[in-house]
Structure 1
Amino acid sequence: MTLTVLTATVVSRMSMKIPMRGHDISELDAQVIDGFTRGLLAAKYDNPKPIPKFHHEMWELCCSDSPKVAIAAPRGHAKSTAITHAYILAEVLFRQKSFVLLVSDTEGQASEFLGDIKAELTGNDALRQTFKIKQILKDTETNIIVQFHDGGKFRIVAKGSEQKVRGLKWHGKRPDLIVGDDLENDEIVMNPDRRDKFRRWFMNALMPCGSDSCSVRLVGTILHLDSMLQRLIEDPTWVHLFYEAHNPDFSEILWREQWPKERLVAMRESYLAQNNPEGYSQEYLNQPVSIENAFFNKDYFLDFERQDGKWIKPNLEYFAAADFAISEKERADYTAIVVCGVDPEGIVYVVDARRGRWDADQIIEELITTQKMWQPNVFTFETAKIDKALGPFLDREMMRKKVYLNIVKMTPTQSKTMRARSIQAMHKSGSIRYDRDASWFPDFEGELLTVADSGPRGKHDDYLDAFAYVGLTIDQYWEAQSDEELEDEEYYDMIEDFSDQGRNQITGY
């Protein structure tokens, strides 16, 4: 179909819906944006492919009455072209919106998006003629005001994440459309303090800056399981779409014309060759951690050995560690305690894991309870946290209750994943058993499965920190029994078993 025919189709459909001045329409929808894109925009796209079904789904949701929409889509699938380019142009040219705030992770990226829009408004003659664009009244890298021949105007402002957006107005009105495209980057998501700062800006500055009838449309790729986009996908007050480039066996591919199986497989192989499986999983599957290549492989969460449903408990030496969340900055984190037992052959048993948002008194109570229950040989804490916050109070309570922890202090000098290498090696070798029937196990496993080589990608890493310190403690303080010690232990066990045989339950002999 020719450009002229497609343009005529769009204009004809608009006039059938409602005859208004210029190209006003009563309601924008995916069909209108499809015709608009194919008729007036696609000719300038780089090697354009047929518009995929999921673009129509995104357009339909963005054109809906839902005030808040979040979309997670994979890299290289033209999500910016569909939403930040075509959708914004359709909204302003069809007179549905007049004041747009376009936001990306940096001002430079946002201004590039705006530059592409401006190129259509200045250099696309068919578009200018169809929508009777007269002139651009204001033209900067981050701010344009466009006027139609009938006097109508619209404005688009480009901003970077965490820039000032409070009080943004035009002719006394606040933005009626906010479009965010990849608001987050690796620098923002990989640090919990930065994530918290970004969330405060998003909720306290960006969201309130729109008008009462403002539509918020966010599109991006999930970079972290505690990212803002992931949180919005899970938020029931937001409507969302979630896409991945393909399913596990490639039998379902999101955009086969652009990404045939061969191309996807080759792309995945290139990531694997660079030992970066989580990179592919993040960028193309919207899974920041590759389950198959997670730091803690799911297949090695081995259960306790049980008989008739009961754990066959070996002779164990216990070691414990705690990760404290006691500062004001850590108020959203948990304090976590992990206890492991080691048998004579070096098999590690994770027997207890607990966490909570406890105050200082509650933390000390949990430590005392853990000590009484398991009697660990060593209880490991991070030096700064125990010295600055809990040390004197814990000493007082140990003396008062006559329960004493053998405290070992460790100072973190490496990243979280480097500290966890020891316990990871034990896990990978099949040397750890987990109490899979315990109430704490699903959360414990769930957190560890969100850890990638590059660092934790989940909402919490408290169990990871405590577990890592247990691993370091076992390395430092547990010694395997010698052959002679094992033989002696087996001998005494045999004598004990023999002495029990034939004993009268009443007389004792």
Structure 2
Amino acid sequence: MARYAKKPKASEILTANSIDVPDELRDKYKEIRELAESDLLAFIRLVAPHRVLGKVHENLIRWWTREDAKSHQLVLLPRDHQKSAMVAYRVAWHITKHPDTTILYISSTTNLAEKQVKFVKDILTSPIYRRYWPEMVHEDEGKREKWTATEISVDHPKRKEEGVRDPTLFAAGLTTSITGLHCQIAVLDDVVVQENAYTKEGRDKVKAQYSLLASIETTGAMEWVVGTRYHPDDLYGEMVKMTKDVISEEGEILSQENVYEVFEAQVEDRGDGTGEYLWPRQQRYDGKWFGFNASILAQKRAQYLDRTQFRAQYYNNPNDPDTEVIKKEYFQYYDRRFLERTAGVWTLFGKSLSVYAAIDFAFSLNKKADYTSLVVIGINEDAQIFVLDINRFRTDRISDYYDAIVEAHTKWNFRKIRAEVTVAQQAIVEELKDRVRRDGLAISFESYRPLRTEGTKEERIEATLKPRYENMQIWHYNGGYVQELEEELRMARPPHDDVKDALANAVSIAVAPIASKARNLRKQKNVVYHPRFGGVAV
């Protein structure tokens, strides 16, 4: 009793280790408990007074917990900025406020998810937490309802009152079966990692597990996602673009809105290490340092052999502007108004063009998310290549492919088109060939199936296009899908590569017209007919 004669400071209360609460402090403890339950920042400062938080973390907490927050929230922060710790504190806080909740915690591997569950368990069993919420977890581990590495169920009586069957917190990796579970909150913590980000198979695996969430989430469920970008086509990129219909009570679609609200930031705001840092360097009371400055970031940058990966993980930009495959300065433009067609032959600036096309099919007939691209080019006697037309569309019907090819052929009169195919897509080409023969069209189809010795798809495209752009041999027009083409050409890892792939295939089959024939065509164009009798004036 004597040591509490004086009113203790708040800091003394927050770091107390005794579970017993003196009568004279009971009201104060109740006040602190209520404050911690109402404010996530206060909760963290109570249960983890050692944790160093920057302004970015305080801003994140306010954004997470504001009254008008969406149910689905995506946080994209640079590496080493405590995003996993912050979402774990949020999980512990939510359990504290809602002990009957059910939360699924997914990480890239079960091991990582289990580490996060342990983080939460350590909070719930810490002396300071037990001081304020002794009813949450039984002191004797053997008497707890469920307390394993992968799942826990708190012992608060409200769980029994509500008849909750599912665990309070369940850990899962991308390969963990979650069928049969039900959750009110799904936490996705660093599900995109290096091991699954840089192959299509890996990215699809992440997206497949994500797609299962809709079947196990209860009505009105929330999703808390934290991560760092790796690839333009990773799950986080899909989440940023994901939209849903806004429907009136009468069932009318009023508009569309984003599914996720996004809290995104870069390590510093200038992109070269000289800007204002998101989490400036801070020193803790014991001398340890946290946060970033130019020196720390320079050390991180030096250790990344892949600059694109560094930009993705510290600037949330999966494409490093310093590593552009084809520089913007190599793009040059012509005016399509000077294109002329005479006797079925296209000319530009008085020189005839040999016209070719290529089509890049969507990945599969069953996946409308992929684009099909059809590119038409012309090449003159000087081997200058002009992009004449780009068509880009989504479909799962062969008839749509055929209609697009016929429309382009009717306009541009190309005689040869290349289609890069997989084993499955060869059937599409054979069907298109049959339709061309049936309709009597003068189109030659070339099926192209790359060999392993030709390198990866990216290497083939770069080998075909990069030297021609650097030699200033390729010309674009303004407008249409040219912007998409240029983005694909510049990025090391574009979200899609269908347009530049089709362009590379068209360039690969293009043969410049023989100069003598080209001159003859120009002479034919300049033939002068007798005004009265017809015939040729000599």
Mapping 1:265-284, distance limit 5 Å: 265-271=298-304, 274=305, 276-284=306-314
Partner residue, 2:225? 218
CA distance 1:425–1:186, change in 2 (3 Å): farther
2:185 alignment partner AA: L
Contact 2:75 2:227 survives alignment (8 Å): yes
For residues 160-198 of structure 1, what are the alpha-carbon distances to aligned partners after superposition, in whole Å with 9 as ceiling and x for unaligned? Answer: 125222332xxxxx4333221012234544444654554
Matched, 1:69 2:85: no
Matched, 1:342 2:345: no
SS state of the match for residue 295, structure 2?
A: helix
For residues 382-416 of structure 1, what are the alpha-carbon distances to aligned partners after superposition, in whole Å with 9 as ceiling and x for unaligned? Answer: 35569842444434433344322233332122422
Partners of 2:531 and 2:302 lie apart in 1 by 68
1:256 alignment partner AA: P
Partners of 1:300 and 1:395 lie apart in 2 by 37
Partners of 2:438 and 2:203 lie apart in 1 by 41
Contact 1:292 1:298 survives alignment (8 Å): no
Q: Which stretch of structure 1 is more off in the superposition, 185-194 or 423-432?
A: 185-194
Mapping 1:91-490, distance limit 5 Å: 91-95=94-98, 98-122=101-125, 124-132=126-134, 134-135=138-139, 136=141, 137=144, 138-147=146-155, 155-168=168-181, 174-192=182-200, 195-196=203-204, 198-203=206-211, 205-235=212-242, 236-247=258-269, 248-249=271-272, 250-257=274-281, 258-271=291-304, 274=305, 276-304=306-334, 312=349, 314-325=351-362, 327-358=364-395, 359-376=397-414, 378-382=416-420, 384=422, 388-413=426-451, 414-421=455-462, 422-437=464-479, 439-449=480-490, 451-452=491-492, 456-458=493-495, 460-474=496-510, 478=511
For residues 255-283 of structure 1, what are the alpha-carbon distances to aligned partners after superposition, in whole Å with 9 as ceiling and x for unaligned? Answer: 12211123224433443xx2x22111211
Of 52, 57, 60, which aligns to 2:59?
Answer: 57
Partners of 2:426 and 2:326 lie apart in 1 by 32
Contact 1:23 1:93 survives alignment (8 Å): no
CA distance 1:353–1:278, change in 2 (3 Å): same
Partners of 2:374 and 2:518 lie apart in 1 by 33
TM-score, normalised by the number of residues in structure 1: 0.78
Residue 5 of structure 1: CA displacement?
Answer: 5.6
Partners of 2:45 and 2:36 lie apart in 1 by 19
Partners of 2:183 and 2:522 lie apart in 1 by 81
Partners of 1:22 and 1:254 lie apart in 2 by 33
Partners of 1:102 and 1:195 lie apart in 2 by 19
Q: CA RMSD in A?
A: 3.9
Contact 2:372 2:394 survives alignment (8 Å): yes
CA distance 1:246–1:308, change in 2 (3 Å): farther
Residue 93 of structure 1: CA displacement?
Answer: 3.1
CA distance 1:2–1:332, change in 2 (3 Å): same
Matched, 1:79 2:109: no
Residue 506 of structure 1: CA displacement?
Answer: 8.6
For residues 197-239 of structure 1, what are the alpha-carbon distances to aligned partners after superposition, in whole Å with 9 as ceiling and x for unaligned? Answer: 5434423x32342333533211111233333322222331322
Partners of 1:27 and 1:37 lie apart in 2 by 8
CA distance 1:316–1:83, change in 2 (3 Å): same
Residue 313 of structure 1: CA displacement?
Answer: 6.6
Q: Which stretch of structure 1 is more off in the superposition, 299-308 or 129-138?
A: 299-308
1:340 alignment partner AA: I
CA distance 1:491–1:231, change in 2 (3 Å): closer
Contact 2:335 2:477 survives alignment (8 Å): no
Partners of 2:405 and 2:525 lie apart in 1 by 36
Contact 2:191 2:206 survives alignment (8 Å): no
CA distance 1:297–1:3, change in 2 (3 Å): farther
Partners of 2:449 and 2:119 lie apart in 1 by 51
Partners of 1:380 and 1:445 lie apart in 2 by 21
Contact 1:54 1:254 survives alignment (8 Å): yes
Partners of 1:117 and 1:345 lie apart in 2 by 69
Partners of 1:127 and 1:151 lie apart in 2 by 19
Residue 461 of structure 1: CA displacement?
Answer: 2.9
Contact 1:253 1:260 survives alignment (8 Å): yes
For residues 284-339 of structure 1, what are the alpha-carbon distances to aligned partners after superposition, in whole Å with 9 as ceiling and x for unaligned? Answer: 11121223423333343322268999974743332321122384344432322112
Partners of 1:313 and 1:7 lie apart in 2 by 85
Matched, 1:89 2:126: no
SS state of the match for residue 84, structure 2?
A: helix
Q: What percentage of residue pairs aligned between the two structures are identical?
A: 20
CA distance 1:369–1:66, change in 2 (3 Å): closer
CA distance 1:98–1:26, change in 2 (3 Å): farther
Partners of 2:522 and 2:362 lie apart in 1 by 47
Contact 1:120 1:127 survives alignment (8 Å): yes
SS state of the match for residue 404, structure 1?
A: coil
SS state of the match for residue 352, structure 2?
A: coil
For residues 72-92 of structure 1, what are the alpha-carbon distances to aligned partners after superposition, in whole Å with 9 as ceiling and x for unaligned? Answer: 1111111111112x2222222
CA distance 1:166–1:90, change in 2 (3 Å): same
Partners of 1:494 and 1:299 lie apart in 2 by 33
Partners of 2:276 and 2:100 lie apart in 1 by 36
TM-score, normalised by the number of residues in structure 2: 0.74
1:67 alignment partner AA: S
CA distance 1:416–1:491, change in 2 (3 Å): closer
Contact 1:189 1:227 survives alignment (8 Å): yes
Residue 372 of structure 1: CA displacement?
Answer: 3.6
Contact 1:232 1:238 survives alignment (8 Å): yes
Partners of 2:485 and 2:315 lie apart in 1 by 24
Partners of 1:146 and 1:155 lie apart in 2 by 6
